[in-house]
Structure 1
């Protein structure tokens, strides 16, 4: 097995632990008790560092992982996941923190899922061009239409399935 695949599996395992363990701290899961909170300036320049990952992560940053593929995902924190009855959307509020010395634009893909073994059709939402200046944070809302007929409560988790910066 290539080291790249092993690292991807490790990131996914950490993400599952982070999702289940971060609920009380406001990260992960689609609980309605969370609140969003960071803001920052939003201007960016066009750098081409294409850091991407497909391991999945949620609230907080990933420990270790110094490869460039981990950097963009570690910069994203999930503040809240919920169903918005007014817009009939599944909503993820995230904060992107750029600790780098360069400005970046981030693309973040969120995956909304339900309990394992359930009938929930996974939904994906993409937010492109989240501009974050060096040393700053930027909040963003990532949404996808709710296609069910209920109250959205069947969607119990959300995770970053991919993140890149350029």
Structure 2
């Protein structure tokens, strides 16, 4: 291989690295976490608009990726998941934490399931959860109980989708 070919490959490799960024360090890339000077910055959960993902949060499984699509779901923590006999609803109480530098409105979809798979999944949606930059907000998601028992067959709830804008 000629010297100019080696140099061209090296320049191409550096250009690809600079454009895609160091994925583990939060530097570079197009995820609004890169600084204008090109130096790496720490991840601060202020990804692109309309971040959405499927997966769970605490109380379930945590999304494994580090893309901006996972950030909205990672901002949601499930505090309580239960059947409320007074209202005959399945209820999930969550805390949404915004560590970013911008205010966001969150939309959260909660999926209620049970052990074994014999339970028909139920879904609750909460939209417009306003969370100021650097703070958190609590919200309650509820859906009518689809069964005729005491709700004990619903043992798990997880965030099936979350977005912020």
Q: Report if TM-score (shorter chain) is over 0.5.
A: yes
Deviations 1:97-127 (A, max 9, x none): 000000000000000001024x211000000
In structure 1, the gaps of 5 or more residues are: 1-47
Instruction: State the 4+ residue runs in structure 1 displaced beyond 2 angstroms.
Output: 55-66
- After TM superposition, the score normalised by the length of structure 1 is 0.67
1:152 aligns with 2:165: no
Q: How far 1:75 sits from its partner (Å)?
A: 0.2
8 A contact 1:61–1:76 mirrored in 2? no
Aligned to 2:15: none
- After TM superposition, the score normalised by the length of structure 2 is 0.67
8 A contact 1:94–1:139 mirrored in 2? yes
Aligned to 2:98: 98
Q: CA RMSD in A?
A: 1.9
Aligned to 2:112: 112
Instruction: Indicate how the Cα distance of structure 1 residues 87 and 136 shifts in structure 2: closer, same or farther if over 3 A, else same.
Output: same
CA distance in 2, matches of 1:152, 1:99: 35
Greater RCO, CA 8 A, separation 6+: 1
Larger radius of gyration: 2
